[in-house]
A and B are shown apart, each in its own frame.
Chain A
């Protein structure tokens, strides 16, 4: 038995943190998540997302299947079947125990409890990485957190793991700030996108992955074809602000893009000039700034493939 932990691939999926010190955070991020998602059913984005839709070829509608809160909730629930806290992840055990041992880039390291870390996680999606590793190694993967057993039979068995920074409030720049619900949901939407194995993961990729010595060399071996299965992030190039870190996307409709479109389609719900709206607007530009080689024209002239193949 091994503890489920930060496989490098898996680490690519982490998103968000706060600068800590939030004494008003609710004790259970899972409850807040459930409340955020269930409140979506009373929401409508038909007005707030109208600009995004008209300027970007109906992007919001194409990503979520519509502009109602129900559509967004359905997008999330289809991709994130399991909701865990970081503590669940820390005590989880992965089967088979030798999963990931065949490659150095599948090394499994223990996840630290949040109390031992100066980085507070908002959310991560731990399902698709396990599925990909199992797929490459030809193994059936299961994970047990002490109360729940999850068979990772397909990429959409998403496990969203919520950290303490998934909170109603945060301390930003020394001031206590109420985080907008849609800021948290933009992160969830981002994480959910990782559960899409868009285009599938064909046998030829499996062979190349097995032969590759590193994740980067695997990506190089598949040449100009872009790996969209799992919408994994890539290392930002030298010219980028975050050069050297896996904080970028090389595709039009990856996790950063759909998260940005959710934020762009919802910030108009907040009063002009409010702190909440500014946070949402910053989320939009931060996410879009991580798209490599993607222009405004690319976004307005293409459509997202929101499908997922399990073969």
Chain B
């Protein structure tokens, strides 16, 4: 009986080890598959991004290789920055049409989204992508309200607290921004 018991226990252990190894292998496969899926998702999203972001990404790659090789763009940041679109003037006007004196929630939502993006910037490459979006948003002819333009300008300037070496790029954005947005930003900074 004792020998039989020992045999059963031994067989049980072998079986358990087999099962464990099998599941372990599956976990590894799953992790690899997930990794590949994420990669392909990134490739897909990169493929759908406009040329400007592509250019910025190549710029960042160049800069990364020449200056800080450890710097990169986190996939989550890339996804967020690619999906970011500030509230269009049309959307805000639709809110105003319903109630002319409303503080448009679409504008507030854009400001909160920019805040989120700003807070998640970790690397200079991410800052470059962020700045490109802020430039598009604050330009004179962009399809955004002055309040949103001004918010984008504010965060461009605020970026200098994280990356003071980007002063020239930030100044360039100010030079193409809406004059009224700059005026709003000036009033805001004086109140701060």
Binding site for B on A (CB under 8 A): 12-19, 51-52, 55-56, 118-119, 121, 170, 172-175, 177, 233, 241-242, 245-247, 264-265, 267-268, 273, 275, 278-279, 281-289, 295-296, 299-300
Contact across chains for B112 and A16 when beta carbons are under 8 A apart: no
Minimum Cβ distance to chain B for residue A188 (Å): 13
Contact across chains for A16 and B103 when beta carbons are under 8 A apart: yes
Minimum Cβ distance to chain A for residue B118 (Å): 8
User: Which residues 29-87 of B have a CB within 8 angstroms of A?
Assistant: none
Which one of B100, B104, B111, B192 lies within 8 Å of A51 (CB-CB)?
A: B192
Which one of B89, B111, B190 lies within 8 Å of A278 (CB-CB)?
A: B111
Taking the complex as formed, is B147 at the interface, i.e. its CB lies under 8 A from any CB of chain A?
yes
Contact across chains for B183 and A56 when beta carbons are under 8 A apart: no
Contact across chains for B183 and A241 when beta carbons are under 8 A apart: no
Contact across chains for B183 and A275 when beta carbons are under 8 A apart: no
Contact across chains for B187 and A296 when beta carbons are under 8 A apart: yes
Taking A173-B113, A296-B190 as contacts, is the C-beta distance between A245 and B97 under 8 angstroms? yes
B-chain residues with CB within 8 Å of residue A19 when the two chains form the complex: 105-106
A12 CA to B100 CA in the complex, in Å?
8
The chain B residue with its CB closest to the CB of A120 is B99
| B174-192 interface code vs A (CB 8 A; 1 in, 0 out) | 0000001001111110111
Contact across chains for A55 and B191 when beta carbons are under 8 A apart: yes
Taking A242-B96, A273-B119 as contacts, is the C-beta distance between A282 and B146 under 8 angstroms? no
Contact across chains for B190 and A172 when beta carbons are under 8 A apart: no
Which one of A119, A264, A286 lies within 8 Å of B147 (CB-CB)?
A: A286
A280 CA to B151 CA in the complex, in Å?
12
Contact across chains for B98 and A17 when beta carbons are under 8 A apart: yes
B-chain residues with CB within 8 Å of residue A52 when the two chains form the complex: 190-191
User: Which residues 135-192 of B have a CB within 8 angstroms of A?
Assistant: 145-147, 150-151, 154, 180, 183-188, 190-192
Contact across chains for B119 and A285 when beta carbons are under 8 A apart: no
Which one of B98, B108, B145, B151 lies within 8 Å of A118 (CB-CB)?
A: B98
Pick 7 A–B contacts, CB within 8 A, sort by A: A14-B101, A264-B187, A267-B191, A278-B115, A281-B151, A281-B154, A299-B187
Minimum Cβ distance to chain A for residue B110 (Å): 8
Contact across chains for B104 and A286 when beta carbons are under 8 A apart: yes
Binding site for A on B (CB under 8 A): 89, 92-93, 95-113, 115, 119, 145-147, 150-151, 154, 180, 183-188, 190-192
A-chain residues with CB within 8 Å of residue B110 when the two chains form the complex: 173
B-chain residues with CB within 8 Å of residue A278 when the two chains form the complex: 108, 111-112, 115
A-B pairs with lowest CB-CB distance, top 9: A173-B109, A264-B191, A247-B100, A55-B190, A245-B100, A15-B101, A282-B111, A289-B146, A241-B145
Identify the interface centre among B93, B101, B186: most chain A CB within 10 Å of its CB.
B101
Contact across chains for A121 and B187 when beta carbons are under 8 A apart: no
Contact across chains for B188 and A241 when beta carbons are under 8 A apart: no
Minimum Cβ distance to chain A for residue B120 (Å): 12
Contact across chains for B184 and A18 when beta carbons are under 8 A apart: no
B-chain residues with CB within 8 Å of residue A118 when the two chains form the complex: 98
A247 CA to B146 CA in the complex, in Å?
14
Contact across chains for A241 and B111 when beta carbons are under 8 A apart: no
Contact across chains for B190 and A14 when beta carbons are under 8 A apart: no
Minimum Cβ distance to chain A for residue B35 (Å): 30
Which one of B102, B119, B192 lies within 8 Å of A17 (CB-CB)?
A: B102
Contact across chains for A15 and B102 when beta carbons are under 8 A apart: yes
Minimum Cβ distance to chain A for residue B152 (Å): 11
Taking A16-B102, A241-B145, A288-B187 as contacts, is the C-beta distance between A268 and B108 under 8 angstroms? no
